[in-house]
Structure 1
Amino acid sequence: MTDLSSVLDRADQNLTASLERLFGLVRIRSISTDPAFKDDCRKAAEWLMAELENIGFEASVRDTSGHPMVVGHHPGARTDAPHVLFYGHYDVQPVDPIELWEDDPFDPKVKDLGNGRKIVTGRGVSDDKGQLLTFVEACRAYKDVHGNLPVRVTVLFEGEEESGSPSLKPFLEAHADELKADYALVCDTGMWDADTPAITASLRGLVGEEVIITAANRDLHSGMYGGAAANPIQILSKILGGLHDETGRVTLEGFYDGVEETPSNIKSSWEALGNSRSDFLGEVGLSELAGEKGRSLLELLWARPTCEINGISGGYEGQGFKTVIASKASAKVSCRLVSGQDPEKIRESFRAYVRSKIPADCSVEFLKHGGSPAIQLAYDSPVLTKAKTALTEEWAKPALVVGVGGSIPIVGDFQKMLGMESLLVGFGLSDDRIHSPNEKYDLKSFHKGIRSWARIIEALAK
């Protein structure tokens, strides 16, 4: 087994140079959504290719219909070692409004906040340039000490994550054999707090539906037709009101098929975090949980499926008052799914429910707005267990296994298209201001993130 302490020492010794490399990458204005920065995105891809080559990867920039991908391969020390695919993205969000930045967003700096806390500032330092470089720099430290890596590594760096990843699925399809590994490593998430590392084991899936109900062939005068003509807003309101019962459970047939209870030890660890509903909801002016009765806050956010009404439209919505019975009414509804739920079955169940409530002389139309399954890494997965132990050893506080209420599409793509589970470990903090002016990344997150990945790849090799 390798001498891990020497690798960690080298990561410490390399920190100043690692930070300079981060500065070099952040200075590249790789804003993917703005065509004016097309050349900068390619420059960032070529920069990353060169850095991978410098530490012994066979790396290349791959053209797509949009911004290029960067792919790198390292054989590792053993042909029978585990094979991991590490994913990150080099593109960044636009910097607007520029006048709110304290410094040039592409002129990174280290700032001392006092009490021993230092931060790195600049667009992309947290999302995701600093995060992806923690892994690259961990590999560098390993190579410096041992001349090799303990696992086989494939790297995939994307340049369109912040603009919807239009080229990603075609690229995965075209290069599936090359990119498939034992599991994926993703560093685009965060810590629980500044001292507590976290592994994201679950991501909720999504079903998005828009429903449009049409009654009369034109808007009607409510005095002349009220009480006699079908009112699509009333029909729609009744339908939406029936989506939940008095306990907060979703009433769609088969909605909870495949949904399993979270293990009691995991729920207990969540409850021990002390996240109270008053603290969480108080920030937005609320105080009472509105989901399924008898569930804790974090259970509702991370482990239970939902059905939410996101928008309603119909009739006169301008200033003043107009006595009209609308011809049409529409609503947008999204379901957040957990592991075991089939997005298309949920979609069909929703549509069947709505159709069953439509009067014979009215019609309904549905518009599909995306769908993806939930992701759940088994809580007893050896990969998760090894990573949890490695993180705990680095941070001296037990690593938490958490969930995310939203979705990260790339993780679903890895599972569906490449048959790989993903281990999500990130070192961002809630105050990193990603996508906003004055983005930052704690220097501690960058430094200990490098050390953490060194520990994780060592653990995965065992």
Structure 2
Amino acid sequence: MSDQLEHYFTSNRQAHLEELSQFLRIPSISVGTEHKEHIRKAAAWLADSLKSGGMEHAQLLETGGNPVVYADWLHAPGKPTLLIYGHYDVQPSDPDDRWDSPPFEPTIRDGKLYARGATDDKGQLFIHMKAVAALLATEGKLPVNIKWCIEGEEEIASKHLFALLEKEAEKLQADAVVISDGPMQERGVPSILYGLRGLCGFQLDVTGPRHDLHSGLYGGGVQNPIFALSELLASMKNNEGTITIDGFYEGVEPLSEADRERFTTLKHDDAKVQRDLAVNALFGEAGYSFLERTTARPTLEIHTITGGFQGEGIKPIVPSSASAKLSCRLVDQQDPDRIFELIERHIELHKPAGVEVKLTLLVKGKPFRVSTDNPYIQAAARAYEAGFGASPVFVRAGGSIPIVDSFSRLLEAPVVLMNFGLPDENLHAPNEHFHLENFDLGLRTVCHFVRLVGAP
């Protein structure tokens, strides 16, 4: 880090935090329609801020929903182009009475900035904005070309971004996509995500008689939809945690020695998880550790079961219907559409007599994985070493971010997931906050990354 750049960050720190606070005061909640005005205010604020930081062509790209903010700086001929993605929408703040300070009045306490959106994702996005602006201000140019794609619907599953990527693929074309929208492994231990699981969520409805029946008159004589649903659910997984849907594991690659070594280096404490969850045992697919099961292996989980009388006491009926909501986390080459077809076939083959079944796809997303040997990933690792003074760990995440695969596939570019948040920062919960230590280190890390990518 040059003395000039270090002086810039030190002397402008308070101004940067005040500017970030302006951004955080905008309640850009994307759930529902109540905050449409604030959504557009946040998008306009971003465009103005990018422009004041030296970016060009700052504009709002209309999507049919909330606008996407685009800007660029393309004056480094022959150098790579980075597309920086983030989102300006936030989750609702409720329950507001659980916050120690108002959710849209940013407050600094104990070295942490408290506000809705502080870590998810305004604070982390702001790091990139100010790092790029700092390089321009101190050096008059950038060592790479930069594009921005900042959406306002991430918290509602990026409803319109997929179509925009297809429509604007040429405008957004880049050599790599950079995203900071999640936690590091832990404080002082930066991490780079090289894998995300895909998703296939669906609802299973089972219907029997045209209305609820008196169990004394009809019990034992007609199929009970709850029993039928229970049979179907039980047929999908055995007592060793293996999913028994024929063809489900097609496209799942065996864990390599390198993958398993990375899991070992994380030094995960299974016993602590068991104690924290207050369960008498952990359970999952045989032959795999807890970390492997929850990040690198596919799953099938039941989220909701409904049917029959739900009130206090008992209502002795044979219910007319029952339903369940489930989802599968997917890895490697598993495709959510193919998985849904396999589940449909399994349900049809195992459907008990006396009921009808209906399967409805609710949500889907493909898994994502990038080689840790990719030069952009390696540049991120070296940047963390310079910025944080610590080598990052390479991790696979159990969650799903469908838009990451879309970026990789439509733009044919690697995605670099380098995060600056921490796991305990209450994203989506009351008292969301962002550690300012990571804000400071993140600024320097991004500068190192940009320079490494643009190096001859």
Q: Shorter-chain TM-score category?
A: over 0.9
Matched, 1:71 2:70: yes
Deviation per residue, 1:103-152 (Å, 9 max, x gap):
333332332x3xxxx11222222121111011011111211232111111
Quote how far apart the aligned CAs of 1:454 are.
Answer: 0.8
Deviates more, 1:141-150 or 1:229-238: 229-238
Distance 1:262 1:12, change over 3 A: farther
1:449 and 1:305 map into 2 onto residues whose CA distance is: 33
Amino acid at match of 2:61: R
3-state SS, counterpart of residue 174 of structure 2: coil
The aligned runs of 1:16-415 (5 Å cut-off) are 16-33=14-31, 35-58=33-56, 59-77=58-76, 79-111=77-109, 113=110, 118-359=111-352, 361-415=354-408
Does the 8 Å CA contact 2:207/2:322 hold for their aligned counterparts?
A: yes
Quote how far apart the aligned CAs of 1:76 are.
Answer: 4.0
1:38 and 1:440 map into 2 onto residues whose CA distance is: 24
Quote how far apart the aligned CAs of 1:164 are.
Answer: 3.9
Quote how far apart the aligned CAs of 1:4 are.
Answer: 5.6
Amino acid at match of 2:412: G
Deviation per residue, 1:401-452 (Å, 9 max, x gap):
1122111132133234433332111111122122223221111111111111
Does the 8 Å CA contact 2:131/2:447 hold for their aligned counterparts?
A: yes
3-state SS, counterpart of residue 339 of structure 2: helix
Distance 1:246 1:49, change over 3 A: same
Quote how far apart the aligned CAs of 1:323 are.
Answer: 2.8
3-state SS, counterpart of residue 432 of structure 1: coil
Deviates more, 1:293-302 or 1:405-414: 405-414
1:91 and 1:275 map into 2 onto residues whose CA distance is: 33
User: Pairwise CA RMSD of aligned residues?
Assistant: 2.2
Does the 8 Å CA contact 1:386/1:460 hold for their aligned counterparts?
A: yes
Amino acid at match of 1:74: W
Quote how far apart the aligned CAs of 1:32 are.
Answer: 3.0
Does the 8 Å CA contact 2:365/2:401 hold for their aligned counterparts?
A: no
Quote how far apart the aligned CAs of 1:34 are.
Answer: 5.5
3-state SS, counterpart of residue 299 of structure 1: helix
1:86 and 1:96 map into 2 onto residues whose CA distance is: 30
1:16 and 1:236 map into 2 onto residues whose CA distance is: 59
Deviates more, 1:207-216 or 1:61-70: 61-70
Q: Report how many aligned residue pairs link the two structures.
A: 454
Quote how far apart the aligned CAs of 1:380 are.
Answer: 2.4
3-state SS, counterpart of residue 80 of structure 1: coil
Does the 8 Å CA contact 1:4/1:458 hold for their aligned counterparts?
A: no
1:429 to 422, 428, 434: 422
Quote how far apart the aligned CAs of 1:88 are.
Answer: 1.0
Deviates more, 1:263-272 or 1:391-400: 263-272
1:27 and 1:218 map into 2 onto residues whose CA distance is: 52
Amino acid at match of 1:45: A
3-state SS, counterpart of residue 400 of structure 2: coil
Gaps of 5+ in 1: none
2:263 and 2:434 map into 1 onto residues whose CA distance is: 26
1:160 and 1:330 map into 2 onto residues whose CA distance is: 29
Quote how far apart the aligned CAs of 1:328 are.
Answer: 2.2
Quote how far apart the aligned CAs of 1:285 are.
Answer: 1.4
Gaps of 5+ in 2: none
Amino acid at match of 2:81: H
Does the 8 Å CA contact 2:367/2:402 hold for their aligned counterparts?
A: no
3-state SS, counterpart of residue 181 of structure 1: coil
Deviates more, 1:128-137 or 1:284-293: 284-293
2:319 and 2:91 map into 1 onto residues whose CA distance is: 41
Does the 8 Å CA contact 1:205/1:371 hold for their aligned counterparts?
A: yes
Distance 1:287 1:389, change over 3 A: farther
Quote how far apart the aligned CAs of 1:455 are.
Answer: 1.1
Q: Identity over aligned residues, as a percent? A: 37
2:97 and 2:207 map into 1 onto residues whose CA distance is: 47
Does the 8 Å CA contact 1:304/1:338 hold for their aligned counterparts?
A: yes
Distance 1:168 1:300, change over 3 A: same
3-state SS, counterpart of residue 403 of structure 1: strand
Deviates more, 1:84-93 or 1:445-454: 84-93
1:202 and 1:340 map into 2 onto residues whose CA distance is: 12
Quote how far apart the aligned CAs of 1:361 are.
Answer: 4.6
3-state SS, counterpart of residue 14 of structure 1: helix
Distance 1:225 1:40, change over 3 A: closer
Does the 8 Å CA contact 1:135/1:453 hold for their aligned counterparts?
A: yes
Quote how far apart the aligned CAs of 1:86 are.
Answer: 0.5
Deviation per residue, 1:160-189 (Å, 9 max, x gap):
323443332332233222112122111111
Distance 1:231 1:86, change over 3 A: same
